[in-house]
Amino acid sequence: MKNHSANRCGGVLLWGSLFGLFLCIVLSETWSDRHVADAKQNDSHQGVDLAALQHDVNVLKDKATDQSHVMSDVAYHFTNLWFAAKAQNWPLAEFYWKETRSHMHWAVRVIPVRKDSAGREIKLEDILQSIEQTPYTQLGKTIKEKKIEGFEKAYRFTLVGCYSCHKASGKPYLRPQIPERPATTIINFDPNATWPE
């Protein structure tokens, strides 16, 4: 009786395995045929798709921001960073530090290479990396350590790095300075402020 049961189970397993194998072959061939048909259909519409794609690219180019707009955002965040740190509102300073960094990367993505007055290519990514590796990293460290004296020195050092990028890009007339007032009046820089006042 046990042998009969074992043989029966073995037979069921064998037939189940064969059926599963058969199903896999049929389904894979069906999927493969459908995939080939889809690819052929896409190839036949490639000219139309390329024209539509070119149109979409042109529309996006018209809507895309320019680098000066992004750099205005960098200036906004970097200015507010100064006042957040001066108020020793370190969480807010860290926020503006991160936003400045993010927008500098965005600016480089908008125009990764510029030409100087002699027509030489200036790779802005390389300049950004050098600024990040030294002055900007030091600036972030002073924020984490909550050291206002070190912050002021690192902030000035970062401005020197920013100006070196401007000069290398053929824009020496863009001279950054220590800000005189915040770029925003809606944010309260006081770390002990309560809401609502």
Structure confidence by residue, pLDDT tens digits, 32-67: 556 555 655 655 555 558 888 888 888 887 777 888
Q: What is the pLDDT of residue 177?
A: 96
Q: What is the pLDDT of residue 46?
A: 52
Task: Tokens 């049929």: give the residue.
Answer: 26
**What is the pTM assigned to this prediction?**
0.69
Query: Could you tell me the residue ranges of all domains in the chain?
Result: 67-112+121-168
Q: What is the pLDDT of residue 54?
A: 85
- Residue 81's pLDDT band (cuts 50, 70, 90): very high
- Residue 77's pLDDT band (cuts 50, 70, 90): very high
Count of Cβ atoms closer than 10 Å to residue 9 Cβ: 10
Q: What is the pLDDT of residue 129?
A: 93
Percent of the chain predicted with pLDDT > 90? 54
Of 173, 127, 136, the C-alpha closest to 154 is 136
The terminus-to-terminus CA distance of the chain in angstroms comes to 87
Structure confidence by residue, pLDDT tens digits, 111-141: 999 888 888 899 999 999 999 999 999 999 9
Write out the CATH class of domain 67-112+121-168. Answer: mainly alpha
